[in-house]
Amino acid sequence: MTDPTSTASGAVAVGAWLSAAVLALLGVEYFALVWGIGGAVFALTLTKPESRKAAIVSVVTSALAGAALASMLANLSGGGKSALIAIAFITAAGAKPIVSKGIETLENVIGKLGGSK
């Protein structure tokens, strides 16, 4: 049996590496990504129920969209970290229902073409 401490530290190391890679590839700030995830999860609690797969895809997509928009808007407005955090939360929460509707529409189109949901 593996030691729980080594398993947890391995998971943290992989998570840190993955988040650093995503941030480097996308060029968004860490705060924007974290608060974008928070905004998307907040919006998830307010929207209608959806499948687990659709919820995961919509939260991740909304968080990335919110982080990217927040980084751009905070740089344009000259705001600091507080503006970045607020914009990331609000834009990700606003993007979540739009992304969910897009996923629902795409699933319906695939279903009509004979594919499975």
Give CA–CA dist 83/103, Å, rounded: 30
Domain count, the chain: 1
How confident is the model over 21-66, as pLDDT tens digits? Answer: 666 677 778 888 889 889 998 998 888 888 888 888 888 888 888 8
Phi, psi of 13 (to 5 degrees): -65, -45
Give CA–CA dist 40/97, Å, rounded: 9
Domain residues for the domain of 59 are: 28-112
In a domain, 9, yes or no: no
In a domain, 18, yes or no: no
In a domain, 1, yes or no: no
Give CA–CA dist 88/106, Å, rounded: 26
In a domain, 2, yes or no: no
In a domain, 8, yes or no: no
| For helices 81-112 and 30-46, angle between their N-to-C axes, nearest 10 degrees | 50
- Please tell me the pTM assigned to this model: 0.72
How confident is the model over 74-88, as pLDDT tens digits? Answer: 888 887 888 888 999
Q: Which of 57, 58, 45, 70 is closest to 95 using CA atoms?
A: 58
In a domain, 58, yes or no: yes
**How far is CA 38 from its chain centroid?**
8
One-letter amino acid of 98: I
In a domain, 44, yes or no: yes
- Residue 89: pLDDT over 90: yes
In a domain, 15, yes or no: no
